[in-house]
Structure 1
Amino acid sequence: MRLSARRLDPEFLQWFGLFGAALTWTLQLVIGFGVTIARCGPANAVLGVDVKAWELGLMATGVALALLAESAALSILWQTRNGDYGGPPPEGRRHFFALAASIGNVLFIVIIILSGTGAIVHEPCMQS
Structure 2
Amino acid sequence: MRAAAERAGLRAAPWLLWFGVLGGGIAWTLHTVVDWGLEETVCRSGNDDLLGLPLRPVLGVLSLLFLALAVASTVVAYVLWRRLSVAPAGDDLAELRRGRASFMALVGLVADVLFTLMVLMSSVAVLVIPVCVS
TM-score range, shorter chain: 0.7 to 0.9
The 2-side partners of 1:59 and 1:125 are apart by: 17
Name structure 2 gaps, 5 residues minimum: 1-8
Q: Which residue of structure 1 lines up, in the alignment, with residue 74 of structure 2?
A: 70
User: Does residue 1:92 correspond to 2:93, yes or no?
Assistant: no
Q: Equivalences for 1:93-108 in 2 at 5 Å?
A: 93-108=100-115
Name structure 1 gaps, 5 residues minimum: 1-6
Write the deviation string for residues 54-93 of structure 1: whole angstroms up to 9, x where unpaired: 2211111112111211121112112211369xx9432111
Q: Which amino acid is 1:34 matched to?
A: G
Contact between 1:17 and 1:101, CA under 8 Å: does it hold in 2?
yes
Higher percent of residues as helix: 2
Q: TM-score, normalised by structure 1?
A: 0.79
Q: Which residue of structure 2 lines up, in the alignment, with residue 118 of structure 1?
A: 125
Q: TM-score, normalised by structure 2?
A: 0.76
Q: Which amino acid is 2:27 matched to?
A: T
Contact between 2:56 and 2:131, CA under 8 Å: does it hold in 1?
no
User: Does residue 1:57 correspond to 2:64, yes or no?
Assistant: no
Q: Which moved more, 1:11-20 or 1:42-51?
A: 42-51
Q: Which runs of 4+ in 1 moved over 6 A?
A: none
User: Between the two proteins, what is the percent identity of the paired residues?
Assistant: 26
